[in-house]
Structure 1
Amino acid sequence: MMDRLAVDDVVTDYAGAVDDGDWTAYRELFTADGRADYRSAGGIEGEAGQVAGWLAQSLAVFATRQHLIVNRRVRFGVLEHDTGDTARVRADYLNPMRLTAAGDRGAPDLECGGRYDFGLLRTREGWRLREVVVHEKWRRTQERRPVGVTG
C-alpha cells in the first residue's frame, strides 16, 4: 500500500510540475536515463531534460494549465536480473488550458484528453519515472467571448 501511495504521488507531482512550469521539479521526477514521448500530441520524444526544455517553450503560450489525471491503474513488477522494483501506471487525462492573450479576455481555450503510460523504478531516492508516453485521443479549441458579450 505504501508503494501504491508513493507511485501515485509521483504521478500527481508530474501533473503539478507541468501545470506550474516547474521544469527543475519535472526533471527530478525522472531517473538519470528517463525519457518522455509526447509525439502523439504533436511533440517530441527524448530524454527528460530535453523534453522539459521543449515543454517549457511549447507551454509558455498558456496562461493556465490544469492536468486532471484519473482512472489510475497501477501494476507492480520486478526487473529481470535486477533487484529494483518497477511499476506501470496507465491513467486517463483531461487537460484544459487557457491561451495567453495580453489584455484579451476572449482568448480561446484548448482542451485535450487521452491516456498516459508511466513506467517507474524504485531508486535509492524513491520512486522515479523511467518513461512517460502520452497517447492524446482528442483535442479542441473553443473561442471565449469577453465578459458581457452575447450573441
Structure 2
Amino acid sequence: MTQRAELAAVVDRLAVDELITAYAVAVDDGDWTAYQRLFTRDGRADYRSAGGIEGHAGQIAEWLAESLALFSMRQHLIVNRRVRFDIMEHDTGDTASVRADYLNPMRFATDDGPTAPDLVCGGRYGFALLRTPEGWRLREVVVEEKWRRLPAQGATTP
C-alpha cells in the first residue's frame, strides 16, 4: 500500500468514526433532522430487537422521537468499532461496514433532580455505509439488543 493509499484509508476511517459519533449524538440530543441527514435517500434502520420498528430513516426518526420522549437523559455510547471497507460490484461508490457495541443508560423524564439511570441497555450495532458525493452516509442500521436492566427489576432480556 502506498503512502497516499494509507493516508486515504486513515481519512476514511476518521470520517466513518465521525458519522457513527454523529449518529449517537443525534439520538441522544433528539435531533431527528440531523439523524435523517446521516442516511442515504434509501437508508433504513431496524430496531425490532429492542422492541422497535424497521423502516426508512424518516419513519424511524418519527418512532424514535415518540419513544424516546419518555427519557430526559440519554447517553448513548458506541464502542469497540470494527470497520471494514469494500468496493461492491453493483454500488456506485465505496462501501463500509461497522460492527460496534453500545451501552445506553437513560433516565425517565421527571421533575426530580439528577438521579441514576432508570433503564440501561446494551448490545451491538451493524452499520452499512456508502460513500456519497456529500461524504459517508448510513445505508442501514441494525440494532441487536442483547440485554436490558431496569434497576427495580434487575436484568431482563429483550
Q: Structure 2-normalised TM-score? A: 0.86
Q: How far does residue 104 in structure 1 lie from its aligned partner after superposition? A: 7.1
Is 1:79 matched with 2:83? no
Unaligned ranges ≥5, structure 1: 144-151
C-alpha distance 101-75 of structure 1, shift in aligned 2 (>3 A): same
Match of 1:28 in 2: 37
1:2-151 to 2 correspondence within 5 Å?
2-103=11-112, 109-143=118-152
Q: Structure 1-normalised TM-score? A: 0.90
Q: How many residues align?
A: 143
RMSD (CA atoms):
1.5
Residues 24-52 of structure 1, C-alpha deviations (whole Å, 9 max, x = no match): 00000000000000000000000000000
Could you tell me whether the CA contact under 8 Å between 1:36 and 1:131 is conserved in 2?
yes
Q: 1:29 is aligned with what amino acid? A: L
Could you tell me how far apart the structure 1 residues matched to 2:72 and 2:34 are?
A: 19
Could you tell me how far apart the structure 2 residues matched to 1:40 and 1:55 are?
A: 14
Could you tell me whether the CA contact under 8 Å between 2:106 and 2:117 is conserved in 1?
no
Could you tell me how far apart the structure 2 residues matched to 1:60 and 1:43 are?
A: 14
Percent of paired sites with the same residue: 74
Which is further off, 15-24 or 104-113?
104-113
Q: How far does residue 105 in structure 1 lie from its aligned partner after superposition? A: 6.4
Unaligned ranges ≥5, structure 2: 1-9, 153-158
Could you tell me whether the CA contact under 8 Å between 1:100 and 1:107 is conserved in 2?
no
Q: 2:13 is aligned with what amino acid? A: R
Could you tell me whether the CA contact under 8 Å between 1:96 and 1:112 is conserved in 2?
yes
Could you tell me how far apart the structure 2 residues matched to 1:24 and 1:49 are?
A: 9
Match of 1:146 in 2: none
